Amino acid sequence: MARRRLGFWRRFAVSVVKPTMAGWTRRTWSGMEHLPASGGVIIVPNHLSHADPLVSAHYIYDAGRWPRYLGKASVFRVPLVGRILLKCQQIPVERGTVDAARSLETLVSAVRDGGAVVIYPEGTTTREPDLWPMRGKTGAARLALATGAPVIPVAMWGPEKIFDPRTKKLSFRPQIPVTVMAGPPVDLRRWAGATPSRAVLDEMTDAIMLRLRDMLAEIRGGTPPPLWSAQANRRADESTGQANPAPPAGDPA
Domains of the chain by residue range: 26-240
Separation between Cα atoms, residue 230 and residue 109, nearest integer Å: 31
Separation between Cα atoms, residue 178 and residue 160, nearest integer Å: 9
DSSP calls for 67-127:
EEEEEEHHHHTSTTHHHHHHHTT-EEE--SHHHHHHHHHHHHHHHHTT-EEE--TTSSS--
| Average of per-residue pLDDT across 199-212 | 97
pLDDT of residue 4: 53
The 8 Å CB, 24+ separation contacts for 91-99 are 91/117, 99/73
Sign of CA dihedral 127, 133, 134, 140: positive
* pLDDT at residue 35 greater than cutoff 60: yes
| Average of per-residue pLDDT across 78-95 | 91
Of residues 210 and 238, which shows the higher confidence score? 210
What does residue 94 show for φ and ψ, rounded to 5 degrees?
-100, 160
Summarize pLDDT for 120-164 with one digit per residue, the tens. Answer: 999 999 999 999 999 999 999 999 999 999 999 999 999 999 999
List, in order, residues 6 or more apart from 64 with CB less than 8 Å away: 1, 32, 35, 37
pTM exceeds 0.85, yes or no: yes
Summarize pLDDT for 101-120 with one digit per residue, the tens. Answer: 778 899 999 999 999 999 99
Q: Domain spanning 26-240: which superfamily?
A: Glycerol-3-phosphate (1)-acyltransferase (3.40.1130.10)
Summarize pLDDT for 184-197 with one digit per residue, the tens. Answer: 999 999 999 999 99
